[in-house]
A and B are shown apart, each in its own frame.
Chain A
Amino acid sequence: MAGVGAIQDLKFRVSYGLTGNQDISDFQYLARAESRDYVFGNTVAPGVAPSSFANPNLQWEAQKQFDAGVDFSLLGGRVNVTADYYVKTSDELLLNVELPGAAGASPTILFNLGEVQNRGFEFDIRTQNLTGAFRWSTDFNFSTLENRITSLGTNPGGGRNEYLGRGFFIAGQITKTVEGRPISAFWVFEADGIYQNFEEIAAMNRDGSTYQEGLQPGDIRFKDQDGNGILDDKDRIFAGSPFPNLFGGLNNTFEYKGFSLNVFASFSSGNKIYNSGRANASRDAYWNMDNAFMNAWRPGNTDTDVPRLASGGSHERNTRPSTRFLEDGSFIRIRNINLSYNLPAGFSQRLLLQAARVYVSATNALTFTRYTGYDPEVNSLSGNPQNQGVDLIGYPLPRVLTLGVTATF
C-alpha cells in the first residue's frame, strides 16, 4: 500500500445476496394419490387412494446473506488474512408441517413458513513462515457459527409449530426444533446419578404420586425439573446443540529440496452428539450389550454410573433419551498426511522418465476426540433435519495408507 510499508494490501468488502432453494421432491404442490390395494376372495384388487393435500401456494425458499469482511496482507505478503462476518437468513423455509390425524391424508404437508438464521465469523490466515531452502507455509482457517430458528409459524391447530426428532430403535423424542433455539436442539432428560436405596426412590415422590413406576436401587435417577413429583416431558431440558460453534482447519506444508510434507487437520467443537449406538447397547439383555455393563450397579458394586442389569421395562426406562448418552462431539482430526519426493531431474532422466514423484499418504490418520462412538463426524441427516446430531451408527471412516509413484513420460 502506498505510504504504509507494513501493509501490502488492505481491502474492505460488503456484500448482500439472495438465492433460492427448491430442492424438494417434484409435484409437492399437487394433491397426489397412491396405489392401495384391497382383496376380494384371495385375489388382490387394485385400488387407489388420495394421499396428500394440495398446496398451490408452495414457493421457493429464500436465503438472504449479508457479509462484511476485510482482507489484508502484511510482512511483504508473507501473512495474508481474510476475516468475514456473515449473517445468513433462510426465509419461507420449506418445512413439513404435521397435520392432525383427523385430516386423514399424508401426515405432513410442505408449507413455506419459518425462518432460520445462521451467523458467525470466518477467519483465514495464510502465512509463509519460513522461506529459505526449507519452506514452511501454513493455512489456518476457522469459523464460528450460531444457528437459531427465528420463526416456525403456527400449525393448523393454532399452536406454535415445533418438530420432534427421534433416534433409532429407542422410543421417545431426542431433539426438538423450536423457535429461539438451533435446529434439532437436544431435548432430553437429565440423568442425575443412581438410586442407591429405596429411601432415595421414595424421596422423589410428592403428595402420593409415584415419580416413576417400578423403580429399584440401581436405576438411574432423572431430575425432576419442575419438582412436581411426576416424571414427564416437562422434565426434559434443552441440553445442547448438534451444531459446532467453532470449526476449521489447519494446513501445513513443508518443503525441502525435493521433499514435500503436507499435513492437513480439521477441528470442530461446541457440538454434542447423541450416541444412539451406546444407547441401543444399553437396553435389554436380548440385545448385545455395551461392555460397560461389566461394571453394572450391584449390591457389592455401588460406586458406578452404570445402572443395574434388568430386563423389559426397567431397561427401557433407563435408556430413555437423557444426558447419559449425550456426549461432547468436539474433535481434531488429522485428515491427510502426505509425504512426497520429486526425483531429481538427472536421476529420472536416467530412468528414461521426464519426471517422477514418489509419495506416501495417510488419509484419516488420527482423530482426537472424547466421543465414544465410532466417528464424531456423524452422518445422521437421513434426510430429516430434525435428526441432526443423532448418531445413526454409520460405518466409520477407514484409515487409508497409500503409496504411489507418478511418472511422466
Chain B
Amino acid sequence: MKRSYQYLLALLLASAVSCQKLIEPQPQGLLAADVFFSDGRGALAGVNGAYSTLLQTGAYKEALWRLGDITSDDTDGGDGQLEDFSYDENSGIVSDIWNTHYRGIYRCNYLISRIPQITFTATDPVPPGRLLGEAKFLRGLFYFNLVRIFGGVPLITRRITQPAEAAVARASAEAVYAQIEQDLLDAVEGLDPVTRYRAGGEGYELGRASRGAAQALLARVYLTRQDWARAAQYAGEVINSGHYRLAPNYAENFTAGRGAENIDESVFEIQFSNASEAVAAYTTSYMTVPETGAITSGGYGNNYPTDNTNPPDTRAVNGGGLVQAYEEGDRRKAVSISNYDGKVNRFLANKYFNTVDIFRRSAANYPVIRYSDVLLMYAEAVNELSGPTPAAYEAVNRVRRRAFGLPPDSPSERDLPPGLTQAQFRERVYQERRVELAFEGHRWFDLVRTGRAIDVMIAQGRNNITQNKLLFPIPAGERIKNELLEQNPGYN
C-alpha cells in the first residue's frame, strides 16, 4: 500500500513538469504571425508582403489596367461589361478589386500597429520610420483606388482581430480622402528621397516608394479633389527636387522588362518579374496576339486602342478614337500602338510588348506615376488656379518636345501656341494627358474627375453610360456578408 502510494506520487510529480510543452507545441512548418513580426527583419518582410498585394489580379496585374482604360474611350477588348457599361454588383472585377485592396489595407494596418511595438536594433537594415512611411504610402494608394472606383468605403485603419470589426458601414468619400491625405503626408515625412534608393542597399531597393512618389501621389489626390493649390504645391515639390527627369526617348519608359527599369523618369511603378506567375505581369500576354511574332507571349488582343477607321465588331466608334489622337510626327504613337507591319488587322497596344516572356509571365513593370504625369498635373493645377502661366506652359512643352524628339530645353515649333485662354489650355492639357499616358490606366479616372466622362463616351457612341455608372457597384457578395453596406445608386 505504501509503495503504490509512492509510485502514484512520483507519477503525478513527473507529469506536472512536462505538461506545458505537450499541450502547447510551437507550430512547425507554418508561420505564426505574432512570432514572425517581432523584429526589424520581420517588419521589412512584412512591408514587402504589403507591396505584394499590388501584384494580384485585383490590383495592377489585371483589374486596374482594365478598368482604367477599357471603360474609357481609349481602349476596348477583354471585358464586355466595361466596354458597354453593363457591369453590376455581380461582376467579377468589382469583387476582385474590393477584396484585393482590402487585403492590402489589412497588411498595412497590421504593420502600422505592429511596428511601434517592435524594438529595432542597429543591425536592422531599415529604421521603423521608413517602414511606417511605406506602409502608409501603400494604404493611401489602396484607399485612393477604392474611393475613386466605389465612392465612400468602410474605413478601417486599425489592425482588426475580431471579424465583427470588419462589418462596418461605408464612410463618406470625404472621410476616406481625409485619411488618404493624412497617410500620404505622413509618408512624405517618413520616406527617403529617391536618390537614397538609387544608391541601393538592403531595404533600399530601387522601386520602393520614395518621398517623391508620396508627393506625386498626393498631387494626384489633390487634383482629383480639385484642390488646385495643393496639387500645384506637391507637384511643384517633385519638380523642384531635381531628382527626376524626362528620358530622352519616350520608349525608354516601356522596356517591358527587357531594358532598364525604374529609370529617372519613373516616380512609382509596379515591379513585376518573370520568375513565377505569382510575381509576373499579364499585360504583355493579354494585350498581344500570336500573329505579332510574340509566339510565347501572345494572347487575347485585349485593351486595343479605339480607332475611327476600323470599327471593331459592332462597336462603331463615332470618332474620338485613340489611334487618331496622335499628331503627325508624334513618336509616342509608334511606342504606344502598333499593327505590326500589317500582320494584325487592327492596332494593338505596344507599350508592354515583348517576344520573349512566356504567357502570363511577363517582367514588364506597370507605371503608376511617371515624371511626365507630374509635369502635366502641375500644368493643369496651375492653369485652374490662375490661368496658363509660363511655368505651366513650360511643363507641358517639355513633355511635348520629348514626344517629338526635340531638345527639351529650347522652345520648338511643337510648343503650345502662346496666348491660350484658360479653357483652351485646359483642353490642351487633357489632350496631352491622353496621348502621353495612354495604356497606363489613367483615362477613365481623368474623364470622371473632370466631369467629362458622360459627354465623351456618348460622343464616341457608347450610349449606355448613365450617371450612376461613374461609380462601380459594391460587390453583391460583400453586401450579403455585411448588411450595413449600402449600395451605390442604380445598382441592386
Contact = CB atoms under 8 A, between A and B. Distances in A.
Contacts of A41: 205-207, 261-262, 271
Interface residues of A, number: 44
Interface string B446-489: 00000000000000000000000000000101101111100000
B313 interface: no
Interface in A30-54: 30-54
A45 B45 CA distance: 8
Contact of A104 (B42, B102, B363): B102
Contact of B481 (A26, A33, A99, A104): A99
A104 B53 CA distance: 11
Contact of A99 (B37, B51, B105, B166): B166
B48 A48 contact: yes
A40 B207 contact: yes
Contacts of B49: 33, 36, 38, 47-50
Nearest to B474: A101
A33 B99 contact: no
A158 to B, nearest CB: 6
Contacts of B105: 104
B32 A157 contact: no
Contact of B166 (A35, A46, A103): A103
A236 to B, nearest CB: 14
A124 interface: no
A101 B46 contact: no
Contacts of B36: 33, 48
Contacts of A44: 273, 275-276, 279
B16 interface: no
B271 A53 contact: no
Nearest to B159: A50
Interface in B156-179: 156, 160-168
A39 B273 contact: yes
Given A102-B478, A102-B482, A34 B167 contact: no
Contacts of A34: 31
A326 interface: no
B190 interface: no
Contacts of B55: 38-39
B297 to A, nearest CB: 16
B271 A102 contact: no
A156 B32 contact: no
Contacts of B30: 26-27, 32
B31 A32 contact: yes
A3 interface: no
A109 B166 CA distance: 13
B360 interface: no
B166 to A, nearest CB: 4
B95 A50 contact: no
B352 interface: no
Contacts of A53: 160-163
A27 B27 CA distance: 7
B279 A38 contact: yes
Nearest to B43: A48
B481 A30 contact: no
Contact of B163 (A27, A39, A43, A99): A99
B106 A100 contact: no
A105 interface: yes
Nearest to B492: A232
B257 A42 contact: yes
B233 interface: no
Contacts of A54: 161
Contacts of B46: 47-50
Interface in B24-78: 27, 30-34, 36-37, 42, 45-55
B343 interface: no
A33 B32 contact: yes
B425 interface: no
B94 to A, nearest CB: 10
B169 to A, nearest CB: 10
A377 B48 CA distance: 47
A107 B95 CA distance: 12
A155 interface: yes
**A41, A99, A107, A156 interface centre (most CB from chain B within 10 Å):** A41
B393 interface: no
B107 interface: yes
A38 B50 CA distance: 9
B165 to A, nearest CB: 8
A35 B31 CA distance: 9
A103 B163 contact: yes
Interface in A96-119: 97-105, 107, 109
A208 interface: no
B353 interface: no
B276 to A, nearest CB: 8
A48 B31 contact: yes
Interface string B285-319: 00000000000000000000000000000000000
Contacts of A107: 99
A101 B34 CA distance: 22
B278 interface: yes
Interface string A114-142: 00000000000000000000000000000
Given A40-B207, A43-B273, A44-B279, A103 B102 contact: yes
Contacts of B212: none
Contact of B478 (A45, A97, A100): A100
A101 B478 contact: yes
A157 B205 contact: no
Nearest to B44: A47
A47 B32 CA distance: 14
Contacts of B156: 102, 104
B371 interface: no
Given A45-B205, A50-B33, A101-B475, A40 B160 contact: no
A41 B477 CA distance: 37
B39 to A, nearest CB: 12
A125 to B, nearest CB: 48
Contacts of B244: none
B167 A158 contact: yes
A48 B36 CA distance: 9
A45 B46 CA distance: 11
Contacts of A50: 33, 37, 46, 49, 106-107, 110
B7 to A, nearest CB: 31
**A45, A52, A102 interface centre (most CB from chain B within 10 Å):** A102
Interface string B103-121: 1111101100000000000
A30 B478 CA distance: 25
Contacts of B276: 44
The 6 A-B pairs with the shortest beta carbon distances in the complex, nearest first, are A104-B106, A47-B48, A49-B49, A40-B205, A103-B166, A47-B49
Given A34-B31, A101-B475, 18 more contacts: A35-B31, A38-B52, A41-B271, A42-B273, A44-B276, A47-B51, A49-B50, A50-B110, A53-B163, A99-B481, A100-B163, A101-B481, A102-B168, A104-B107, A104-B156, A156-B164, A156-B165, A159-B483
11 contacts: A31-B34, A32-B27, A40-B205, A41-B271, A42-B363, A44-B276, A44-B279, A48-B36, A101-B478, A104-B107, A104-B160
Interface of A: 26-27, 30-54, 97-105, 107, 109, 155-159, 232
Interface of B: 27, 30-34, 36-37, 42, 45-55, 95, 98-99, 102-107, 109-110, 153-154, 156, 160-168, 205-208, 257, 261-262, 271-276, 278-279, 363, 475, 477-478, 480-484, 492
